Every structure is written in C-alpha cells, then in structure tokens.
Amino acid sequence: MDNKDVTSVLNDLIETSKDGEKGFQECAENIKTVQLKTLFNQRAQECAMAASDLQQLVRGLGGEPETTSSFAGDLHRRWVDLKAMVTGKDDEAILNECERGEDVALKEYREALEKPLPASIRMVVEKQLQGVQRNHDQIKSLRNLARAS
C-alpha cells in the first residue's frame, strides 16, 4: 500500500473513533445510572485519544488527518436520541444502541486489518481493535444485566 492508501484507511478509522467518542458522550448524557455515565465518559475520552493517535500517524505519512465523525455516525446518534426520548431514556435501550455502535466499530477495525498496512501502523490498529473489543464486550455484558433486571 502506498501512503495515500494507508492514509485513507487511517482516516476511516479516525471517523470511526470520532463516532465512538460522540456516541459515548451521547449515551452518557442520556443514561440514568451514574456508574454508566462515568463509564461512557471514560470511553469517550479513550476514543478521542485513539483518534488523536491515528491523526498523528496520518500526519507522519504526510497526509491530512480527518477531524470529524461520519455521516452514518451522526445518524446513529440521532437514532439514540429518538430512542431515548421514546423509551424514557431506558438504560437497556441506550446500552443496546451503544452496543450497535461498537459492532460497527469492530467491523471497521477488522476490515482495516485485512489491508496490507505497514507493521508499525498495524500494531497501533491491532491495539485499538483490542480496546474496541473490550468496549463491545463490556457494553454487551452491561446490557444483558440491564435486560435481566
């Protein structure tokens, strides 16, 4: 892959990370449980750091890093808002939407790793994928707990 192709892959992941940051912020604003609010705010900060790390890689390749979230991410957040309004900001419904967002992030990271990325960039993307997987699994577990109660 040339630098332009690698930059494109990284910019897609920056959008994904920005989507996660904004999505977790949105969930934190709508969730009732204080512990979940704290967790979502922490996850939003981690997504922001991931985007920043990817932006540095893009700059290192001589590219212009993405700075915004995706249109699809914006639509998803509007859906979370609507669903929160309709369900009275029910924790389970918010966790469901949060998990859906993490499903998308997992897909994006896995697709990026199917590309022939340089080893140093692959290591960063793999490490970030582990964080996305952890987020997904934790959200799913919390959603299952909310569903059971």
Query: How do residues 39-67 score in pLDDT, each as one tens digit?
Result: 999 999 999 999 999 999 999 999 999 88
Other CB atoms within a 10 A radius of the CB of residue 79 amount to 13
Domains of the chain: 3-148 (1.20.1260.10)
Report which of 104, 52, 42 is spatially closest to residue 76, judged by C-alpha positions.
104
Listing DSSP states for 83-118 in one string gives HHHHHTS-HHHHHHHHHHHHHHHHHHHHHHHTS---
pLDDT of residue 69: 65
Q: Which residue's entry shows tokens 């009732």?
A: 32
- Any idea how long the chain is? 149
Residue 65 tokens read as 């890093």
pTM of the model: 0.86
